[in-house]
Structure 1
Amino acid sequence: MEDPRFMTSLARGLEVLAAFETQSRLTVTQAAKATGMSRSAAGRCLFTLERLGYVVAEGTSYALCPALLPMARAFSVGNPLVRAGQAVVDALRDRLGESSSLAMFDTRSQYHCVVYVCRAETSRIISVPLFAGATLPSYCASMGRALLAELPEAELERFLTQAPFPARTPRTLTQAAALRTELEKVRGQGFAMIDGELEAGLRSIAVPVRGAEGQVVAALNLATQSAHRSQDWLLQTALPELQAAAAHLARVALG
């Protein structure tokens, strides 16, 4: 039975807003298809959002408005980890000459995705643009694995029941048993490294960022093209820098 405190109309409106993540404009039909709503329900949500100033009608489609940006800014300013994180990823990029990011679990999904909260890029190293607010599947991203590896056993088991996961490349780990083995390795060694699993030619290493009581709250990574940097370079040069940066973040933002 649904909790009486749950407001279905609000949830539907937020679902429609979330549908804009993959498209810059949506028709009523597209919004209905993306959310599983009827056309009339999706249309009412878009009409309400337009009246509130969050979307604008452009012919037969709708686009997002700048009114959404203050909410994103409020998160960035109000979260101490994000507030301190941008300077940290900027410094890593400048010092090592590779793209660096800070990510957390996307709380809308049960550990399925990570969401980028800070990003410092040298050049585009992946086919899709990455920036604060971008999401990637956790099972095949280095930051996702750094976070998954620290889940309580029952929650990790629940996540693994979603396997097999989609193969992003021929090297992607898709089966629960293989992913569990890899996550046990990540937990033991304290870092995650992927090589061509998320996208061919992409190599990345990530470490967890821990709170005052040792709980993992985020992950910090460095990513590069495999033709540019070797695994040895990531382990010998990048990893100590990431570990030091994660410890610094924990002290200044979470201590």
Structure 2
Amino acid sequence: MASELTDLLLAARRSGVAVDPLDPALVPASVEAAYAVQNEIVAALGPVGAWKVTPKPADGPCFAAPILKSGVYQSGATLKAADLPGIGIEVEVAVTIGQDLPGKPGGYGPEDIKAALGSIHVAIEVLATRYKDRKAVPQLAGIADLQSSGAVIVGPPVPASSLPEFGQQAMALAYDGIETKTTAGNADTDNVLAALAWLADHAAARGLPLTAGTVVITGARIGPADVSAKLISAEAPGLGRVAFNLV
């Protein structure tokens, strides 16, 4: 039987009516409890088409969430703002996994992940929320809500053999063709590979292993940013351009 928080979040997705207020008693007591809610949402609405993972911190684990296959789009897609309450934009480096990554004794390492990469992309994550205000709820409640995932728009593939140094990866976000935010770099390539190795182990342990074709976004490099445009695009030298229309 699904938890009460799961039922509330599913009802919000189906009705479009936000959870407000959130009963403090329903906030997950641990990150494991938050992940259990994620799994229940996926069981109800899946399958999984992508994952999001945070950069690897100096101490402790990353955080992660599956993204529903119904929320994965290619560049040029048109999305409805009404389907994305509390919308926000993040520009990210994404990878597509090139081979299945089931549970592995001893776990995966960065070199395993490097060998398993199919392609690299610039991507836009569209944040959405099932709460009235995603910024106002406790972190564990946000994690339970698939880490506020709404959609991911994936740019053109770049061969994984050309794996760049992401620590100096420039990116720019534009609204209606006007550049609005830029970055000169963020988490480096070693960090990205370490986070992906952690995710491969984590996803397998949850019974949702990474499979060939799965997209993984690796943490915001620009954003979260509010949206005030119809055409949202991002460019990254060496990775190309990704864009979508918002109606």
Shared topology, TM-score over 0.5?
Answer: no
Larger Cα-atom Rg: 1
Q: Which has the higher contact order (CA 8 A, sep 6+)?
A: 2
Alignment TM-score, normalising by the size of structure 2 = 0.29
Higher helix content, 1 or 2:
1
Alignment TM-score, normalising by the size of structure 1 = 0.29
Higher strand content, 1 or 2:
2
